[in-house]
Amino acid sequence: MSQTLSRQATDQRFEARTLESIHALAVSKLPPEVVDYLEGGSGDEWTLRQNRSAFTRWAFEPRVMSGRDAPDLRTQFLGVDLSMPVLTAPFGSETLLHPDGHRAVARANAGAGIAGIVPEASAFSYAEVAQAAPTAAGFAQLHPMGREENFLRLVQSIRDAGYRGVVLTCDCSTVGWRERDMNNRFEMDTSALHGNYPVEASGEMNEAFGQLFTHDSAVWGWDKIRDLLGSSIPWIAKGILSGHDAEAAIEAGAAGLLVSNHGGRQLHEVIASLDALPEVVNAASGSVPIAVDSGFRRGSDVVKAIALGADVVVIGRLAAYGLAAGGEQGVSAVLQLLREEILTILQLLGRGGVGEVDRSALRRADA
């Protein structure tokens, strides 16, 4: 009964009634070249496809007649309380989708009781997004590149804005080979990127993001991150796809790991994030919490990732579709529908909460 009422309430707030219908509405509102920028991947998009097919390699194994109460989705990630095991991703250039950008995402997150990762390449500063919804100011994303003084300036602005940690995007030393954008001759409007770079620092922005389109800049290493950040603020290594890199990041001081192939947008023909997740979880051995992104489109996807050892799932394109479809209201609808599907899956699995979801909830579907 409660699920029916909450679904009806969602329908009253927003006309789209499923996640797929929100996706369709978003696509209908955007120019074709922006749709390609949002949905595209690198190379021939093999990794993009693998991110989705990875979920079909696992099937659920329920426990019927469990005698459990309604599932409890509450959890924590690095001290941040979450009403469900979900964070929103730091997708940049978000004003291409809606003029309120990550301010709208933050307000929706606050309403849903979760937090987000705010991007460096945003139209709004870290402070502006945090001010829009202080309770949702979980983490802020940074690219480990460029001049050290600029990097440290941004770290200080993240601390001043009240974020709980920094997410370092470690898999973006250059932009992936994105053929949809190449065919469209897509060029980014820098006004969608400058939020964390005031006018007097525009040269810093051009220098920092200019490196993403060249191959002659130095790639930072783990030792440099250890020296620059130390214990000044907890940081999460984003872009981890192997046990080797998981161990290296933890050795360098990472407080958490984000298993990610950048939504299939960076290295072509790389392992799907869900397929990499068990190896990373094993390498971490419980020493740090694990997040995962790339390819998540349903509540059932979230539950499978939790069963394979993730602590939280980071949603990028899902949140972006909600933003494009209806701003804050659209993102709120995405989060509500996601919550309801996760609740439904857990109840049918016979689990009383996310803490009861482990590998026993799955079996290989391709065995």
The predicted model scores a pTM of 0.90
Dihedral sign for Cα 19, 21, 25, 28, please. Answer: positive
- Determine the structural domain holding residue 303 and report its residue range: 19-276+296-357
The backbone torsions φ and ψ at residue 124, rounded to the nearest 5 degrees and listed phi first, read -120, 145
Residue at 283 is within a domain: no
Residues serving a catalytic function are 262
Q: Half-sphere exposure (CA, 13 Å, Cβ side) for 130?
A: 17
How many angstroms separate the CA atoms of 115 and 84, rounded?
10
* Whole-number pLDDT of residue 206: 56
Residue at 345 is within a domain: yes
Residue at 158 is within a domain: yes
Q: Residue ranges of the chain with pLDDT lower than 70?
A: 1-14, 189-192, 198-218, 367
* Whole-number pLDDT of residue 69: 82
Residue 270: count of CB within 10 angstroms of its CB: 21
Residue 279: count of CB within 10 angstroms of its CB: 18
Residue at 362 is within a domain: no
Q: 183: exposed, middle or buried (C-beta count within 10 Å: 0-12, 13-18, 19+)?
A: exposed
Residue at 146 is within a domain: yes
* Whole-number pLDDT of residue 51: 96
| Three-class DSSP category at 291 | strand
Residue at 241 is within a domain: yes
The backbone torsions φ and ψ at residue 231, rounded to the nearest 5 degrees and listed phi first, read -110, 20
Binding-site residue positions: 37, 90-92, 141, 169, 178, 238, 260, 262, 265, 293-297, 316-317
Residue at 6 is within a domain: no
pLDDT tens readout for residues 94-142: 999 999 999 999 999 999 999 999 999 899 999 999 999 999 999 999 9
Number of domains in the chain: 1
Of the chain, the end-to-end C-alpha distance in Å amounts to 38
Residue at 365 is within a domain: no
* Whole-number pLDDT of residue 362: 97
How many angstroms separate the CA atoms of 333 and 325, rounded?
10
Residues 6+ apart with CB under 8 A from 42: 48, 176, 177, 178, 179, 264, 265, 266, 267, 268
DSSP string, 217-256: SPPP-HHHHHHHHTTSS-EEEEEE-SHHHHHHHHHTT-SE
Contact 151, 142 (CB under 8 A): yes
Dihedral sign for Cα 267, 270, 274, 279, please. Answer: negative
Contact 140, 117 (CB under 8 A): yes
How many angstroms separate the CA atoms of 119 and 89, rounded?
8
Contact 139, 170 (CB under 8 A): no
How many angstroms separate the CA atoms of 270 and 264, rounded?
8
| CATH number, position 41 | 3.20.20.70
